Structure 1
Amino acid sequence: MSAHESLLSLAEYLELPLRAGESVIMMQECDASCGMYVGNASRDQSVLVYHGTIAASIAREIVQRTRTGRNRIEIAGQVFRFVRSAIHFEDRGAVAFEPA
C-alpha cells in the first residue's frame, strides 16, 4: 500500500464531518481493523455516528503520515486542516481528527 492510498482513505473520512465542525474518531485497533466514527470527540461514544472500519494497516499509515497537533495536508488536490489528538473512550484509545 502506498502512502497515497492511506491518505486518500483519510480524506474520505475527513470530508464527512469537517464541513459541519465535527470530528473523525479512529478507534484503537481491534481484530485487525479500526472503527471510524464521526461526531463531537468530547462527548460520550454512544452519540457518535459509526461509519465502518478501515484496515489496521491503513490506520497505522495514517498515523505515520500525520502528526499530533495541527496538520495541513494536501490530498488529491484538496487541502485539509485538522488537529490530531489522542483521546480515550470507555476502555479504548482513539485518535481524533478535529477541524482546525
Structure 2
Amino acid sequence: MTTNESLLSLAEYLDLSRNIGESVIMMQACNDACAMYVGNAAKTQNLLIFHGSIAVSLADEILKRTRIGLNRVEIAGQIYRFVRSVTHFEDRGAVVFAPT
C-alpha cells in the first residue's frame, strides 16, 4: 500500500463530509475493518450516516499520515484542512476528521 492510496481514500471521505457540512468519523477496528461515517460526532452514533468501511491497514496508514489537532495536507494537488480528534461511541473509540 502506498501513502498516496491512504490519503486518496481519506480525501474521498473529506470531500463527502465537506459537501454535507459534517465530520468524517472512523470507528475503532472491528473484524479487520473500520466503519466510516459522516455526521456530527457530538450526537449519538445512530444519527451518523454509514458510508462503508476501510481496511485496518488503510486506517493505520491514515493515522500515521495525519496528527491530532489541525492538519493541512495536500492530496492529489488539493489542499485539505481538518482537525483530527478522538471521541467515544457507546462501546468503542473513534477518530474524527472535522473540516475547517
Output the TM-score relative to the length of structure 2.
Answer: 0.97
Who is 1:33 aligned against?
A: 33
1:18 Cα deviation after fit: 1.8
Who is 2:83 aligned against?
A: 83
1:20 Cα deviation after fit: 3.4
- Aligned CA-pair RMSD: 0.7
For structure 2, the residue ranges without an aligned partner over 5 or more in a row are none
SS of the aligned residue for 1:16 comes to: helix
SS of the aligned residue for 1:29 comes to: coil
1:14 partner letter: L
Q: Give the 4+ runs in structure 1 shifted more than 2 A.
A: none
1:68 Cα deviation after fit: 0.1
Provide, for residues 9-43 of structure 1, a one-character-per-residue CA deviation record: whole Å limited to 9, x for no partner: 00011100123320000000001000000000101
Number of aligned residue pairs: give it: 100
Who is 2:93 aligned against?
A: 93
**1:49 maps onto 2:56 in alignment:** no
For structure 1, the residue ranges without an aligned partner over 5 or more in a row are none
Taking the aligned partners of 2:16 and 2:39, their CA distance within structure 1 comes to 10
